[in-house]
Structure 1
Amino acid sequence: MKIAIGNDHAGTFYKNTIVEYLKSENIEVINYGTNSEDSVDYPDFVHPVAADVESNSVNLGIIICGSGNGASMTANKHQGVRSALCWTKEITKLAREHNDANILSIPARFTSVQQALEMVKVFLNTEFEGGRHQTRVDKIACS
């Protein structure tokens, strides 16, 4: 499995913790995030993640910013990307099962690192249910 990850200054510690976990699981990581806590613009770090997901050069993406909103909005500008802003593992599970989310957006200022790790584990280990949900997912993309 290959994961692209991106973060702004609010998500640096979270990103580093998540990358350490992913590598411990032998998951290949493409790191587009900043390694600093100096202020940066999240779109600069989110667009490359979304582009990798859009082109299928990675399996999934993870993005992290203060609220998770700006990062998710940015990612969702890419066709074929379904970024889900999640703050609990239950919401994360439904985002994968019902919406076939392919990017997890984490709000660093509103979740603990432990919650973020739990969400990542659920995100990576939950499959899309398809069926009645596929029809809805098909209606998301504009053509």
Structure 2
Amino acid sequence: MRVVIGADNEGMELKEWLKGKLLQKGFTVEDKSIQPSENFIASTLAITKELKKHPESLGIAIDKYGAGSFIVATKVKGMIAATVSDERSAYMTREHNNSQMITLGSAIVGKELALNITTAFLGATYSGGRHQIRVDMLNKMG
């Protein structure tokens, strides 16, 4: 599976650590913020742009609290994202909402929790069915 990852200055340390762990687990990782970004807007938009080109990929944006990246991601038409700080929410947002991207706060989650959250998100599969109605509604929003 291909994972697109990025961070602003506040999230760079966690991003680098998480990227290393994902590579060790065999994921293909596309890093959209090799150089530290001054703000979460630029780093998040780089991720969403890549995800729009490659809809089979999943994304992870990291900033200090996760909220800023979430706000930016959800402004992109067709992008379904969630800011998460626990494993269950990460899993469920993929399974029920078909989220293509999660956002993490480096000041909220530690390294091991970030890895567990990411593993849960990447390990989940969209279940479709009754959930597709909501996904269709989200995708129609402008």
CA contact (8 A) 1:4 1:58 kept: no
Q: Which residue of 2 aligns with 1:2?
A: 2
Q: 1:110 aligns with which of 108, 111, 115?
A: 108
Amino acid at match of 1:6: G
Corresponding position of 1:62: 60
Render the CA deviation track for 1:89-139: whole Å, top value 9, x for unaligned: 011111111111110100111111111000010011001111110111110
Give the unaligned 5+ runs of structure 2: none
The aligned length equals 141
Q: After superposing the two structures, state which structure 1 stretch, 112-121 or 22-31, moved more.
A: 22-31
Q: Which residue of 2 aligns with 1:11?
A: 11
Quote how far apart the aligned CAs of 1:79 are.
2.0
Are the counterparts in 2 of residues 67 and 108 from structure 1 also a CA contact under 8 Å? yes
The letter for the 2-side match of 1:130 is: G
**RMSD value, Cα:** 1.6
Out of 52-61 and 99-108, give the one that drifted further: 52-61
**What's the CA shift for 1:80?**
2.1
Question: 2:21, 2:42 → 1: CA distance?
Answer: 24
2:129 corresponds in structure 1 to 131
TM-score between both structures, scaled by the size of structure 1: 0.91
Most deviating of 123-132 and 22-31: 22-31
Asked if structure 2 preserves the Cα contact closer than 8 Å seen for 1:8 and 1:34, the reply is: no
Give SS of 1:127's match: coil
Give how far 1:58 is off. Answer: 5.5
- 1:76 maps to 2:74: yes
When residues 124 and 20 of structure 1 are mapped into structure 2, their CA distance, relative to the original with a 3 A threshold, is: same
Cα offset, 1:26, TM superposition: 2.2
Give, in whole Å, the separation in 2 of the partners of 1:133 and 1:73: 22
Answer yes or no: is the 8 Å Cα contact 1:5–1:61 preserved in 2.
Answer: yes
Which whole-Å CA distance do the structure 2 matches of 1:122 and 1:29 have between them? 16
Could you say which structure has the higher helix fraction?
A: 2
Identity level (%): 25
Does structure 2 retain, via aligned residues, the 8 Å contact 1:54–1:78?
no
Match of 1:97 in 2: 95
SS in 2 for 1:139: helix
Partner of 2:30: 30
The match for 1:121 among 115, 119, 122 is: 119
Question: d(CA) in 1 for partners of 2:99 and 2:55?
Answer: 16
Cα distance in 2 for partners of 1:44, 1:70 equals 11
